[in-house]
Amino acid sequence: MKNTIVCFFVLMHTISVSMWAEENGVHRFGTFNVRYTGLNSGDIGDKNWMARREAVAKIVSDYDFDVIGMEEVTGSVREYSTGRTQLEDLQFMLKDYDSWAVERNGKHYEHNVIFFKRSRYEKIDCGKFYLNEHPETPGPGWAAGKNVLPRVLGWVRLKDKQTGREFMFAATHTNYGAIESGRQACKLIGERLNSIAGNLPIVLVGDFNMRRNDHAEAYMGCASHFKDAALLVETSCLPRGNIRHTASNWQPADSPDCRGSEFDYVFFKGLTPLSRHIITEDYGRGIAPSDHFPLLVRFKFE
């Protein structure tokens, strides 16, 4: 009986994902902080990249993301068993996706990466800018000091091959919203990204290290230019859970130790959001694949 129940839920999950894939004109966009790797991360056992990398990649394919921004993707540490970096691993495993990776300090260490389905989209243009007082060059943010890391935003201009519609998708990872660097970075993002995109629809995703109500100045740096999907559509957890935070503390969504802040956002303009989902999938590992849950928002163009 137990095996029958498990098989039933697996079947229903598979059917629901395939149904999404058949929705005409729906685009599945999202963000996922995958947690950096390396000796200084302190991640051992099931938190080690080699133990969780398949789960990270499987979430992207199983939940049929069309475009997803990833943060903290390490590009300088090679794993002994594959000879690949975390960035190369993801590019290797996500075979149906092309990618645009931008690194935050010019040393090939930690990237924001945008993965997009090559069968559905054509990359028309791409770019980046750094989140500091000199956006053309890498460096620490405003009021540089302790805990103020160099940060970057990467963007791609994509064309839907079926409809010809173009849009911009951007991914970033900012410093803490309570400090000057976080506040100024969000202001720069809102103004500069809006200017680059012009009249194109925009999707802006990432780990913003801010709470909507506690860090109003940082939040409004983005929210004064773009809409926040979390405020416009209902949020549900897939495949289970009843949480609203996106930092997981590595714990499954139904664990009392699963706690954190809603640091991950999907902002947008020029599209209509249909639903928002916190992906709590762990494939029975008993531990989340990252210290953040991925977000999925389903959109249609206006």
- Structural domain contains residue 17: no
Give the domain CATH number at 248: 3.60.10.10
Q: Express each pLDDT in 215-225 by its tens digit.
A: 999 999 999 99
Q: Express each pLDDT in 154-176 by its tens digit.
A: 999 999 999 999 999 999 999 99
- Structural domain contains residue 220: yes
Which residues form the domain of 259? 28-301
- Structural domain contains residue 115: yes
User: Is residue 129 a contact partner of residue 152, using CB atoms and an 8 Å limit?
Assistant: yes
Q: Express each pLDDT in 257-296 by its tens digit.
A: 888 889 999 999 999 999 999 999 999 999 999 999 999 9
- Structural domain contains residue 265: yes
- Structural domain contains residue 113: yes
Give the predicted TM-score (pTM) of the model. Answer: 0.92
- Structural domain contains residue 4: no
CA distances from 70 to 16, 143, 253 (A): 24, 26, 20
- Structural domain contains residue 2: no
CA-derived radius of gyration, the chain: 18
pLDDT value for 146: 67
* Vertex 101 angle, CA 96 and 105, to 5°: 160
- Structural domain contains residue 12: no
The domain total for the chain is 1
Q: Is 185 left (phi over 0), alpha (psi -120 to 50) or beta?
A: alpha
- Is a pLDDT exceeding 50 seen at residue 7? no
